[in-house]
Amino acid sequence: MKAMLLLMLDGTKVSLEVFFLTLLFSLPLGLIVAFGRMSRHAFINAPVKLFMLIIRGTPLILQLIFVYFAPYYLFSASYDRFIAVIIAFSINYAAYFAEIYRGGIESIPKGQYEASKVLGFTKTQTFFKIILPQVVKRILPASGNEVITLVKDTALAQTIGVAELFRVAQNAASRQFSTMPIFVAGVFYFVMNWLVSWCFARFEKKLSYYN
């Protein structure tokens, strides 16, 4: 049992690496995509719309396989499986975060922008000092749902052979002819999602002064 738990802790470490690196890259990338999506220029807006349609319209598992195997078949090149996982996850979640950002930004009344202009704020100052804090407050619930989904989606990394938590649990279950490792993995995922939910609840409470 101790050996199994140690192996699953190693798998959890990989899952957490996927989780945090995906957030590190997808959150800022999602903001860039959101700006592209809201652009009035068709040569920017149209490709971004197509990108989001493809990413949101195809399964993450398919995107993982494509990102990992496509370079080999197209350019006879290959790279690390873990890097492929981070790329695929970051692109996928950036598309979803972009829509969340867009909804939050477009929900801010135009009067906020006009008042900022009257007060002498530049567009950059208006966005980062006035608009963004309100957007963050409004998008927290939807972002929390995506982050919780991300915790569970890390299990898909096993698709291309990355030994994260669920893959380790599956291997242990096969060796021991027992479903106990799968149950333990479920507990691990539950604890991680409980922590994510607790953190978002704290963030919402801290930003309650925007109500």
Average pLDDT over residues 175-181: 76
44-101, pLDDT tens digit by residue?
Answer: 999 999 999 999 999 999 999 999 998 888 777 777 889 999 999 999 999 999 999 9
State the pLDDT at residue 211. 55
Q: Which domains does the chain have, with CATH numbers?
A: 2-210 (1.10.3720.10)
State the pLDDT at residue 190. 93
**Which residue type occupies 148?**
I
What pTM value is reported for the model?
0.88
117-172, pLDDT tens digit by residue?
Answer: 888 888 888 888 888 888 888 899 899 999 999 999 999 988 887 878 888 888 77
Dist. CA 208–CA 205, nearest whole Å: 5
- Cβ burial of 122 (10 Å; 0-12, 13-18, 19+) is exposed
Query: CB under 8 Å to 68, separation ≥6 — which residues?
Result: 81, 84, 85, 88, 160
CB–CB of 98/31 below 8 Å?
yes
